[in-house]
Amino acid sequence: MLTAFVRAFRTPDLRNKLLFTLFILVIFRLGSAVPLPGIDSAEIRQCMENATASGGGVYQLVNLFSGGSLLQLAIFALGIMPYITASIILNLLTVVIPRLETLRKEGQSGQARITQYTRYLTIGLAVLQSTTILAMAQSGQMFQNFCSPSLFMPNQDILTLITMVFTLVGGTAVIMWFGELITDRGIGNGMSLLIFTQIVAVFPSEMIRIWQEQDRWVFAVIVAAGIVMVAAVVFVEQAQRRIPVQYAKRMVGRRMFGGTSTYIPLKVNQAGVIPVIFASSLLYLPTLAVGLLGEDSTNPVVRFLMTYFDPTQIHPVYMATYFVLIVGFAFFYVAITFNPADVADNMKKYGGFIPGIRPGRPTAEYLDFVLSRITTAGALYLGVIALLPMVALGTAGASANFPFGGTSILIMVGVGLDMVKRIESQLQQRNYEGFLR
């Protein structure tokens, strides 16, 4: 594997892509440490220490996706969350709005329009979320009143607050631009790599905190369990069902084409980490609602949300909702990304068929049947992986953004495997051995 790394950096164009990706990620992390104008960075760090020592604030999940920059009130504090939320909304609307469905089927040009709509919606959500975060910071609820807002926000006039909002929204726009730059000129999916970077960024600090707060044998057990979980996730992520496809021979002009055999690879986890991200994003909404309504114990809505949907208190209702959302999003995402009817039509057009299955509608029904069974197993796997660490590690006193948590580990392993496969394909095009032998 080290030899493959050396060969990757010896290839000029691949080396340039890797260095460009690393350069963008470094700038991204630097921006996550630059505080907003009007924020006292020393006081904000003290507030973070006080809040963390008492269990953390109400934005644990969003702070995870922002790489810890949310509670620092940095210029990239919103992280990738507005884009994720906008993507969820657009994917849901694609099913119910015929115009969006038509754009999705138009190929690259239609996808470009949908991407543009996602950008506009991301900016709108960034304005809403930045306003909410600043309101939470002003009221002291972000750090659960462990420090006075006047300490880390000494100047709270309207002009300063407007400047903060514009800075946060601008930071979100820059993050989107970074993701697109990595996708176009670097290696891998830009947005996924940014999420990966933000999660990995909190890994060392969380491990140090657990080392300091837990017994040594508990720390060793947690690390061992994390390694086993990573190995299991890698095994399942690599698993796939290969459906054989035979292409009949056909005459085109004076030449004979076809007669080859191939297969359709259907992964057990066809949806990847998207369902977990979507479900986590939706479960963030009750926490946001509590922040907007205020922690008023007399309000029945707030009392209900704080009782059943507090991420720091692992309630069975919270876990059941999380599991159902993951399973539902897994089926939904597979349904919009893999259409058995389109695959069957393309196979029939080029003379392909599955042995023992007639072309056309029977092939589509067979693919839908196999895909449904595989997706069921994949969806249950995602739900179990997301819930097991939440229960086991939650009893050990780990926080919601523990590095071996279900959301974290699925994203890290999924994005890491995708990155390795992309580099491997680049190496194999140049007759080099890749990472996965």
Residue 54: the pLDDT is 47
Our CA dihedral for 171, 177, 179, 180, rounded to 10 degrees, sits at 170
23 band by pLDDT with thresholds 50, 70 and 90: very high
d(CA 244, CA 265): 9
CA dihedral sign of residues 217, 218, 222, 228? positive
d(CA 329, CA 424): 30
Contacts of 191 (CB under 8 A, 6+ apart): 80, 83, 179, 183
Tens of pLDDT, residue by residue over 191-200, are: 888 888 877 8
Instruction: Tell whether the model's pLDDT for residue 398 goes beyond 60.
Output: no
401 band by pLDDT with thresholds 50, 70 and 90: very low
Mean pLDDT of the chain: 77
Between 324 and 188, the higher pLDDT residue: 324
| pLDDT average, residue stretch 75-91 | 82
Residue 2: the pLDDT is 59
- For the ranges 132-146, 202-216, 351-365, the lowest mean pLDDT is seen at 132-146
Residue 300: the pLDDT is 75
Instruction: Tell whether the model's pLDDT for residue 409 goes beyond 50.
Output: yes
Tokens of 28: 């991204």
Instruction: Tell whether the model's pLDDT for residue 437 goes beyond 80.
Output: no
Contact 201, 29 (CB under 8 A): yes
Q: Is 221 exposed, middle or buried (0-12, 13-18, 19+ CB in 10 A)?
A: middle
Please tell me if the domain spanning 1-201+415-437 has the same topology as the one spanning 215-404: yes
The whole model's pTM is what? Answer: 0.74
Tens of pLDDT, residue by residue over 305-359, are: 777 776 666 678 888 888 899 999 899 888 888 888 888 888 888 778 888 888 8
d(CA 192, CA 57): 25
Tens of pLDDT, residue by residue over 27-72, are: 988 888 788 887 776 777 666 666 554 444 444 555 555 555 666 6
d(CA 7, CA 27): 26
d(CA 115, CA 120): 9
What is the percent of the chain with per-residue pLDDT over 70, rounded to a whole number?
Answer: 76
Alpha-helical segments (H) within 140-251: 149-152, 158-185, 190-201, 203-213, 216-238
Between 253 and 335, the higher pLDDT residue: 335
- CA of 363: how far to CAs of 2, 240, 246, 373, in Å? 44, 19, 13, 16
| pLDDT average, residue stretch 417-422 | 81
Q: Where are the domains of the chain?
A: 1-201+415-437, 215-404
Instruction: Tell whether the model's pLDDT for residue 93 goes beyond 60.
Output: yes
Write the class of the CATH domain 1-201+415-437: mainly alpha
One-letter amino acid for residue 417 of the chain: L
Question: Beta partners for 251?
Answer: 256
215-404 maps to CATH 1.10.3370.10? yes
One-letter amino acid for residue 121 of the chain: L
C-alpha closest to that of 266 among 239, 248, 234, 293: 239
Instruction: Tell whether the model's pLDDT for residue 161 goes beyond 80.
Output: yes
Instruction: Tell whether the model's pLDDT for residue 230 goes beyond 60.
Output: yes
Neighbour count for residue 302 (Cβ, 10 Å): 18
CA dihedral sign of residues 312, 314, 319, 321? negative
C-alpha closest to that of 226 among 238, 210, 243: 210
Tens of pLDDT, residue by residue over 112-142, are: 888 888 899 999 988 988 887 787 777 766 6
Neighbour count for residue 278 (Cβ, 10 Å): 24
C-alpha closest to that of 168 among 139, 138, 198, 126: 126
Residue 57: the pLDDT is 43
Contact 8, 427 (CB under 8 A): yes
Q: What share of the chain is helix, strand, coil (3-state, %, to 5)?
A: 70, 5, 25
d(CA 260, CA 313): 57
C-alpha closest to that of 388 among 371, 373, 407: 407
Residue 376: the pLDDT is 92
